[in-house]
Amino acid sequence: MRSAVGTTEAGNPPGSPVGVLIVDDHTGFRSAARGVVEATAGFALLGEASCGEEALELAAAVDPNLIILDVRMPGIGGVETARRLHALRPAAAIVLVSTEDYGKGPFRIASCGAAAFLRKEAFGPAALRALWDEHG
């Protein structure tokens, strides 16, 4: 499932929305995350991908400012996808998300280029804004 919704100018000029790419193999989380992005002022959904391979293609096409990336996915997992996305789009803030606690997973945030980790249950408009304010 690869979809591009729109584009923002590279570098996120003042006044333009923060372009978000959502990457998760579960349609339920993608739907919930889409709702969060659409409900949060100053953010715009650029696209959704269901696997790491799609995420790499889509990120090259839409140049997101913020990437919400599931840790556990089939194919290229989230940590390796984060490494590749970071090499492709070093200015993008990558946030790893999971239902697992950080201490229980193979996350290694700094080593893969991700800016932060967030449990999926905590993802909402306030968390989205705080993540961008801190890492954007």
* Model confidence at 44: pLDDT above 60: yes
Segment among 14-18, 19-23, 30-34, 107-111 with least mean pLDDT: 107-111
Read off the pLDDT of residues 60-96 as tens digits, 9 standing for 90 and up: 999 999 999 999 898 898 999 999 999 999 999 999 9
Q: Which residue is it, tokens 């249950």?
A: 121
| Burial per residue of 87-103, b for 16 or more beta-carbon CB atoms within 10 angstroms, e otherwise | eebeebbbbbbbeeeee
DSSP string, the chain: -EEE-----TT--TTSPEEEEEE-S-HHHHHHHHHHHHHSTTEEEEEEESSHHHHHHHHHHH--SEEEEES--SSS-HHHHHHHHHHH-TTSEEEEEESS-GGGS---HHHHT--EEEEGGG-SHHHHHHHHHHH-
Confidence of residue 110 (pLDDT cuts 50, 70, 90): low
Where are the domains positioned within the chain? 20-135
Confidence of residue 26 (pLDDT cuts 50, 70, 90): very high
| pLDDT value at residue 105 | 52
| pLDDT value at residue 12 | 56
pTM: 0.86
Tokens for 51, please give them. 């696997």
Tokens for 30, please give them. 């993608």
* Model confidence at 108: pLDDT above 90: no
Domain topology for 20-135:
Rossmann fold (3.40.50)
